[in-house]
Amino acid sequence: MSPLKSIYHWLDARIGVGELVEKRLTGYLLPRSINAWYSLGSVLLVIFALQVITGILLLVYYVPDAEKAFKSVSSIMNDVPFGWLIRMCHAVGSNMMVAVLMLHMLSVLFMGSYKSPRELNWVTGFILFNLVLGISLTGYLLPWSQLSFWATTVATNSAGAIPVIGKYLVEFLRGGKLVGPPTLGRFFSVHVALLPLLIGAFIGGHLFLLERIGVSTPPFGLKETKNTWQGDRFRYDAHPGGIPFFPNYMLQDLTSILIYLAIFFCVVFFTPYIFFPPTAFVPADPYKTPAHIKPEWYFLANYQTLKVFPNELLGLLVQGVVMTFLALFPFIDRGRERHPFKRPLFLACFISGIILYIAMAIWGHYS
Amino acid sequence: MQNASRRKFLGLCLGGLGMAGAVAGAYSVLSYLAPLSDEGTGGKISFSVTEIPPNGAKFFDFRGTTGVVIRKQSGELVALSAICTHLGCIVQWEQDKQDFLCPCHGGRYNSDGSVISGPPPRPLEKLAINITNGIVTVG
């Protein structure tokens, strides 16, 4: 018997590896009509893992001190071997994570996969989206550049529009009246400890729900596209006669991951500064506000919404309503039909929502 | 048979690419984590001779460790490694006794770095020193 087979038998006799493989991989059946969009979750897991690894590596040299942070980041970029690569992977990866997460959510909306009994999958996913936005925002301050400093000033200032508690909330977020060294300490601890733990926990919950309820069937190419679950008792959504996760769908997962990595490394190697305006290379100066400070691309639509409304509170309220509506969407859209072309109202809102978001972001960029 | 060999070939290509990527990634990470070298200054350190007090010592970072220059009663300058040869603690200059004491285990060295007493097995390492126009260069 070969050494590998001996190890396999040794493990199988103790923890039942064979049964585990049969149950979770080769015997784990997915719908035959499953498509590539379902692999975005695996892509996101890889991105999160890369963010954790590059983040831990950055912690080796990064100094979370207002006097030293910018210098330590400059040193990572210029002095440490391959430091530029680690930092660029982390910075580009954070942007890519938001983009892929948006695509994942849009595909779930389009295919009606959020519908019962998967409301909790949607809610945990939506919370994850907000946590990822939070970890991106807190990470933005850490290089302590002019861009970091003033983008954080603008972002935290928005909370001041909330009646009664707004002023205190801004001070609480900043650890003082203005953005300063205490803000860096707060954002650093939230960025490297609190949010990664929360994201890890919610990923665990999201995967548990996926495993427990079963993968949804895409609504395309079927005669009957209505939701058949009656809502009376728990039912695992099995797919008899489906394709096994291993090796069939794992190959699709790997293909999507490799396509993602190809795009990711193209950005890292050929246009690394696409997400870095010139103010990102100047150390923070609390006495000199640079012109045209803009937030990251994924906050541009929110930024422009605040500008469109004459009252900042109204702008915040509108965004709050939209986010609450999206968070509770599976409880609002209770129709049984899942095919997007048989849901004209949904499809109209879906397309116009995407167009509006992109238009507001472009407007925000050029305004 | 043809399909099997093609599959094997593609598998080998993919495995090779994966291996090359893993090696490139591991090389980057190991280089990133390796200690930084002092190539920029050629490992030398310079300071003004006035920074060394009469009969006193000046300690400084030197090639990732600690060095010391002392001014002996005769006025001569001596550069030594400040790392005790016993267990690597930093020795201290005792101005009144004109010798080095290692506080960890009581090892003593004279102003030339030779062992006077205690557990150190070897004298302190001597460092090259050069004085030009009032500037001391060690290394």
Pairwise pLDDT comparison (B2 vs B36), residue with the higher score: B36
Question: Which of A60, A79, A82 faces B28 most closely, judged by CB atoms?
Answer: A82
Mean pLDDT of chain B: 90
Regarding whether B73 and B107 lie in a shared domain, the answer is: yes
Q: Do B29 and A79 touch (CB under 8 A)?
A: no
Indicate if B14 and B65 belong to the same structural domain.
no
Mean pLDDT of A16-33: 93
Q: What is the pLDDT of residue B41?
A: 57
Residues B91 and B122 placed together within one structural domain of the fold: yes
**Contact residues, B window 50-89, toward A, CB-based 8 Å cutoff:** none
Q: How many domains does chain B have?
A: 2
Residue in chain B closest to A77 (alpha carbons) equals B32
Query: What are B6-25's pLDDT values in tens digits?
Result: 999 999 999 999 999 999 99
- CA–CA separation, A259 and A269 (whole Å): 15
The answer to whether residues B1 and B27 belong to one domain is: yes
B29 touches chain A (CB under 8 A): yes
Question: Which residues constitute the domain of residue B30?
Answer: 1-34
Question: pLDDT value at position B38?
Answer: 59
B114 and B54 within one domain: yes
Of A57, A80, A86, the CB nearest to B36: A80
Q: At A215, is the pLDDT very low, low, confident or very high (cuts 50, 70, 90)?
A: very high
Using 50, 70 and 90 to split pLDDT, how confident is the model at B62?
Answer: confident
In this structure, the answer to whether residues B28 and B49 fall within a common structural domain is no
Three-state secondary structure call for residue B71: strand
Q: What is the mean pLDDT of residues A73-97?
A: 97
| Nearest in space to A153 (alpha carbons), one of A181, A133, A179, A191 | A179
Indicate whether B27 and B94 sit together in one domain.
no
Q: Within this chain, do residues B10 and B73 fall inside the same structural domain, yes or no? A: no
Q: What are the boundaries of each domain within chain A?
A: 34-217+243-366
Q: How confident is the model at residue A12 (pLDDT cuts 50, 70, 90)?
A: very high
pLDDT higher than threshold 90 for residue B43 = no
pLDDT at A204 over 80: yes
- Minimum Cα–Cα distance from B38: chain A residue: A79
Claim to verify: residue B116 and residue B133 sit in the same structural domain: yes
In this predicted structure, the answer to whether residue B83 has a pLDDT above a threshold of 70 is yes
Alpha carbon distance A366, B123 (integer Å): 70
In a shared domain, residues B73 and B9: no
Q: What is the pLDDT of residues A271-295, one digit of tens each?
A: 999 999 999 999 999 988 888 788 8
| Same domain, residue pair B29 and B46 | no
ipTM of the complex: 0.81
- Residue that wins the pLDDT comparison between A41 and A228: A41
Which pLDDT score, from 0 to 100, does residue A228 have?
82
Band of pLDDT at residue B2, cut at 50, 70 and 90: low
Q: What is the mean pLDDT of chain A?
A: 94
Tell me the pairing of strands B99-102 and B107-110: antiparallel
- Tell me the sheet residues that pair with B67: B60, B81
* Same structural domain, B87 and B105: yes
Report yes or no: B122 and B128 within 8 Å, Cβ to Cβ.
no
Tell me which architecture the domain covering A34-217+243-366 has in CATH: Up-down Bundle (1.20)
Nearest-angstrom CA–CA distance, A191 and A296: 17
pLDDT at residue B31 tops 90? yes
Phi and psi at residue B38, to the nearest 5°: -100, 40
User: End-to-end CA distance of chain B, in Å?
Assistant: 68
CATH classification at residue B80: 2.102.10.10
